[in-house]
Amino acid sequence: MITLHHLEHSRSLRILWALEELGLEYEVKFYKRLPTYAAPPELKNIHPLGKAPVLTDGDLVIAESAVILEYLQATYDTEHTFKPQNPKDLMQYNYWMHYAEGSLMPYLVMTLVMSNVPKHVPFLIKPLANKICDGVKGGFINPRLKEHSAYLEDYLSQHDYFAGDFSFADIQMSFPLEAASARAGLDASYPKAWAWLQRIHARPAYQRALEKGGPYKMGA
């Protein structure tokens, strides 16, 4: 039996979505975040790092979204519906599966950290913390996020999806683009990327995943 260990407001939604696209039977175990927004310690009973998502299938314990998606596709997508087979699209599939967390998400995580640091420092040094964090965002993070947003907009102006037809690469890319729309200015001023977000959100399997997954702050 497949079990997804699902943390609210997290990357876990991508795996719920993939399970729904595949039409598989599965169980979901829900975990709520702590007041600090950290994952609860119970997740360490499943995986030593205590992170989500984690998927178990029989004796297998699988972590990391891209690895889980690759496992589900290789094991259960017998018609190769969600992974392209022609070499050109397959190269794009592999690229975007790595790009999502390797190239784009680090800057989005840094944005979140820099926005939260001033909230957790003593009142007397809050102005200094704000100045430093704003400087890091303005001088380093934001220019690079604008480059990535322009890059994605250009790519999606030429492609409806990231690797030919809809694939698990689109599921993998959903979280960083949702995060970018939530905290990095990716909005309707990037019409092709924005249209892609609306397109994937309209998929019935995505809607079912949202319904089953509970609270989800986009790209939190």
Chain segment 84-133, per-residue pLDDT in tens:
999 999 999 999 999 999 999 999 999 988 888 888 888 888 888 889 88
218 pLDDT band, cuts 50/70/90, is low
Domains annotated for the chain, with CATH where assigned, are 2-82+207-213 (3.40.30.10), 87-203 (1.20.1050.10)
Q: Which element (helix H / strand E) includes 30?
A: strand 26-31
Among 53, 48, 39, 79, smallest CA distance to 172 is for 53
Residue 189 has pLDDT above 70, yes or no: yes
- Which parts of the chain fold into alpha helices (H)? 12-22, 65-76, 87-99, 105-116, 126-136, 142-156, 168-183, 191-201, 204-213
Residue 220 has pLDDT above 60, yes or no: no
Angle between helices 142-156 and 168-183 (to 10 degrees): 140
Backbone angles phi, psi at 217, to 5 degrees: -85, 120
Q: What is the pTM of this model?
A: 0.93
Give the number of other Cβ atoms within 10 Å of residue 212's Cβ. 17
- Lowest model confidence (mean pLDDT) among 102-111, 156-165, 179-188, 197-206: 179-188
Give the number of other Cβ atoms within 10 Å of residue 12's Cβ. 27
